[in-house]
Every structure is written in C-alpha cells, then in structure tokens.
C-alpha cells in the first residue's frame, strides 16, 4: 500500500503549486491561501508531489480518494488468479475408485488454474516394479489431456516417480 499523503496543516512548504478540484492548474500560491481555498469548498488540500519544487498540492476529498484506492486494490485482488501448485500422491496398487477420486481432484485443480504435481510413492518390493508407477502416470495423462498438459516428468527419484501437469489455457475457468 502507498504511504500516506500529507494533508492540510501537515504540509510543510511555504508555497505550493495548486491544482483545483476539477484538475485544472491554478498556479503557485502561498500555503495559507491554498488551505483556505480548499476549506471554502469543504475539501482537503493534499500534497500529491512533495518532491517537486514547489510541491504540488491538489484540492480533493481525501477520504473519498482513500476509499477509491482501497476499492481498486480490493478489486485487483479479486481478479487476480492464484496459480499455485497442488500435490497428489498415488501408490502403485491404487484401487480404481481411489484413482478416479484423485483424478477428479486433479481435474478440478487444473480447471481452477493450478498446476498439479503427481507423485507415485513406492514401498518395499514395489520399488522393483517402477513400470507400475509409469503406467499410472500415463493413464492420468490421457485422462486429463483435455484440461492439462505434462510440463515435466522425472524417472525414479528415491521412492518416487514425479510428474507435473499444467493447466491448458482453454480449460481454466
């Protein structure tokens, strides 16, 4: 968030370049006259460019200005899409129903715009059959082909086979 602007009596310059409430430049005037002009219109004198010589001050409703800034930031946050990474973990001997549930989750994550890191975790004797994990990843890739594409795929890394699926732009809602 921006730092707070100086208003009315907080302004420390002797004279300011005054901008009227409708945005028209009035000229360089002493600070006291500028504050009186703002108060006559029941508005605030706000120092918008303190580093200028002389500083630029505008006559405006400062409370309304702060509210509009806050609303613009809130709207920007709303329209921002978070594109994090979600993780799913499978086992080589996964049941069909469990696979379907996790595939549905992955589909939802991809439609929301997240990328999905899929790991197949092996234990004990399962480590001797890494092709079982590759088979699951291949099946998942074909099941999610309409909403996502494989970004990276790794071989065996310790007890895991990992794949990252990114969302397709057309599938993101």
Our measurement of the distance from residue 136's CA atom to the centroid of its chain's CA atoms, rounded to an integer in Å, reads 33
pLDDT more than 70, % of the chain: 94
Residue 119 contacts residue 161 (beta carbons within 8 Å): yes
27-53 pLDDT, tens digit each? 898 988 888 888 888 898 888 888 888
71-93 pLDDT, tens digit each? 998 888 877 666 688 999 999 99
Looking at the predicted structure, is the pLDDT value of residue 135 above 70?
yes
146-158 pLDDT, tens digit each? 999 999 888 888 8
The predicted structure's pLDDT at residue 173:
65
The predicted structure's pLDDT at residue 171:
64
DSSP letter for each residue of 16-30: EEEE-TTS-EEEEEE
The predicted structure's pLDDT at residue 11:
84
Looking at the predicted structure, is the pLDDT value of residue 12 above 80?
yes
**Domains of the chain, each with CATH number or no CATH:** 8-78 (3.10.20.80), 85-167 (3.30.110.10)
Residue 9 contacts residue 45 (beta carbons within 8 Å): no
d(C-alpha 69, C-alpha 88), whole Å: 40
Our measurement of the distance from residue 146's CA atom to the centroid of its chain's CA atoms, rounded to an integer in Å, reads 26
Our measurement of the distance from residue 11's CA atom to the centroid of its chain's CA atoms, rounded to an integer in Å, reads 35
Exposed, middle or buried, 111 (CB in 10 Å: 0-12/13-18/19+)? middle
Residue 166 contacts residue 149 (beta carbons within 8 Å): yes
């Amino acid at each position: 968030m921006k730092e707070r602007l100086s208003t009315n009596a907080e302004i420390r310059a002797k004279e300011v370049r005054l901008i009227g409430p409708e945005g028209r430049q009035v000229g360089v005037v002493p600070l006291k006259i500028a504050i009186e002009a703002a108060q006559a219109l029941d508005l605030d004198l706000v120092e918008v460019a303190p580093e200028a010589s002389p500083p630029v001050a505008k006559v405006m409703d400062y409370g309304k200005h702060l509210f509009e800034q806050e609303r613009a930031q809130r709207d920007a946050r709303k329209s921002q899409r978070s594109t994090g990474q979600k993780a799913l973990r499978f086992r080589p001997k996964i049941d069909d129903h469990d696979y379907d549930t996790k595939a549905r989750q992955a589909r939802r994550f991809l439609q929301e715009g997240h990328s999905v890191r899929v790991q197949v975790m092996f234990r004990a004797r399962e480590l001797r059959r890494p092709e079982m994990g590759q088979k699951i990843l291949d099946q998942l890739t074909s099941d999610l082909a309409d909403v996502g594409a494989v970004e990276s795929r790794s071989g065996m890394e310790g007890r895991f086979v990992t794949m990252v699926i990114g969302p397709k732009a057309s599938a993101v809602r």
